[in-house]
Structure 1
Amino acid sequence: MEERREIRRLAAEAEVFLIENKSLSSTPYVFARRFVDIVLAFAGLVIFIPLLLILSIAIKLDSKGTIFYPQVRVGMMGKPFQLLKLRTMKMDAEKDGPRWAEINDPRVTRVGRFLRKTRIDELPQLMNVLKGEMSFIGPRPERPVFTELFNQQTPGFINRLAVKPGLTGWAQVNGGYDISPEEKLAYDLEYIRKRSLLLDLKILLLTFKIVLTGKGAR
């Protein structure tokens, strides 16, 4: 109940920011990008189905538990949604409560290390993109508990909720996992102010580079 009240509060603050910046949700760019999101997400699911089947088998053979790991994240305007990932950690990874992933985290499975290094564990989020909960490019969605914590530590952090969260973003290609909430907010607000199809393409190309090199993985 307390978490739901906090999400509603965050949503209200994000709505104020959106009202003050109406162009964020009414430009032709937004509609054009939604069309691109649908086309790319559908094509991606078709192309990667064989890979997902192979990875599903590998995950089951490597450790006990589910193949997919749904997790509540805070979306645009503070609306919570179930983000999908391939499971990369042991099933009891959060038995002591939510905590941030560490470098060489012992909770990560053998297959999980490869999935996280290449970011392949994010592939199921193509479904979130198709459903309209996410976009290919945008601020990475945080869990409610971390959204609240980061907003307390860095006032204004919830302004990132003014646009759809993304599979990848300006903050991720500039800092990866090691970026601080303050830096993440700075990069994400810069993206929100300057976003365009050209910037989206640049972020997408930089993301492919990160996937190939495994830079910034945990």
Structure 2
Amino acid sequence: MNRKRFFDLMLSIVIAPICLVMITILAIISILWLHENPFFLSYRAGQKGHLFIIYKLKTMRTLVDQTGALLPDQKRVCFWGNILRASSLDELPQILNVVFGQMSFVGPRPLEVDYLPLYDRQQKRRLLVKPGITGWAQVNGRNTISWQQKFKLDCYYVDYWSIWFDIKILGLTVYKVLVREGVKQDGHVNMPRFTGNDD
């Protein structure tokens, strides 16, 4: 077992009981507010591009148009969803991904599977480590920076990783969550989609 995995497991043992209680309470509130399954499950690309299912609390209703297509994010996100996003509490279920060994507490954020063929050689280096619940890009702008900046920060993390670097990022994450910095870009509920390096 490497040092990073040991650190993840020890931290999980400490905070998992509190997180599970919080997840249960938040899930019950979500059911009452959304009137549907409170959890969002989605395939993401993990270390070396291996696929896994990420767990999150749902922040948007499943609303569709007459053709069955999902409505825009702005029309589906609700007041409760905005609270979860602003506080990053929707990310709490990912502690299960950490326990299962699919993610780490710190690392590049796991992105959608269809982004994989769009990475250039340098950007693919972010896949050399496990994805994280938080990361260097998340404490340096999160959703308010460009994809190119985000990928450069991810690769910086890959190059200079250490346990102390992880501890620093975790501390900065607590601060950023408390001040609600970098949650979204103006006019967007989510980060705009990555469409490649020619945009």
TM-score by length of 2: 0.84
Mapped to 2, the partners of 1:31 and 1:93 lie a distance apart of 45
Report the RMSD for the aligned CA atoms in angstroms: 2.2
The offset of 1:43, in angstroms, is 2.5
Q: Does 1:132 align with 2:101?
A: yes
Q: Partner residue of 1:5?
A: none
Q: Does 1:108 align with 2:77?
A: yes
User: Could you tell me whether the CA contact under 8 Å between 2:108 and 2:154 is conserved in 1?
Assistant: yes
Q: 1:186 aligns with which of 111, 129, 152?
A: 152
Q: Partner residue of 1:118?
A: 87
The offset of 1:106, in angstroms, is 3.1
Instruction: Count how many residue pairs are aligned between Structure 1 and Structure 2.
Output: 182
Q: Does 1:68 align with 2:46?
A: no
Task: Specify which structure has the bigger relative contact order, considering alpha-carbon pairs within 8 angstroms and separated by 6 or more residues.
Answer: 1
User: Could you tell me whether the CA contact under 8 Å between 1:122 and 1:167 is conserved in 2?
Assistant: yes
Q: 2:62 aligns with which of 91, 95, 98?
A: 91
1:53/1:93 CA distance change after superposition, 3 Å? farther
Over the matched positions of the two proteins, sequence identity in percent amounts to 37
1:155/1:98 CA distance change after superposition, 3 Å? farther
Can you list the C-alpha shifts for 1:83-141, whole angstroms capped at 9, x where unaligned?
00001111237964798x6xxx3321221111110111101000000111000110001
Amino acid corresponding to residue 146 of structure 1 in structure 2: Y
Gaps spanning 5+ residues in structure 2: where? Answer: 185-199
User: Could you tell me whether the CA contact under 8 Å between 2:123 and 2:155 is conserved in 1?
Assistant: no
Mapped to 1, the partners of 2:84 and 2:115 lie a distance apart of 23
1:195/1:93 CA distance change after superposition, 3 Å? farther
Q: Partner residue of 1:206?
A: 172
Q: 1:81 aligns with which of 43, 52, 61?
A: 52
Q: Partner residue of 2:188?
A: none
Mapped to 2, the partners of 1:117 and 1:108 lie a distance apart of 12
Q: Does 1:58 align with 2:29?
A: yes
Q: Partner residue of 1:4?
A: none
Q: 1:177 aligns with which of 140, 143, 150?
A: 143
1:38/1:65 CA distance change after superposition, 3 Å? same
Gaps spanning 5+ residues in structure 1: where? Answer: 1-29
Q: 1:168 aligns with which of 111, 131, 134?
A: 134
Q: Partner residue of 1:144?
A: 113
Q: Which has the higher helix share?
A: 1
1:144/1:156 CA distance change after superposition, 3 Å? same
Mapped to 1, the partners of 2:71 and 2:76 lie a distance apart of 12
The offset of 1:63, in angstroms, is 1.2
User: Could you tell me whether the CA contact under 8 Å between 1:85 and 1:125 is conserved in 2?
Assistant: yes
User: Could you tell me whether the CA contact under 8 Å between 1:72 and 1:81 is conserved in 2?
Assistant: yes
Can you list the C-alpha shifts for 1:28-85, whole angstroms capped at 9, x where unaligned?
xx81111110121233221122222221111011112211111100000110000000
Mapped to 2, the partners of 1:37 and 1:161 lie a distance apart of 18
User: Could you tell me whether the CA contact under 8 Å between 1:89 and 1:109 is conserved in 2?
Assistant: yes
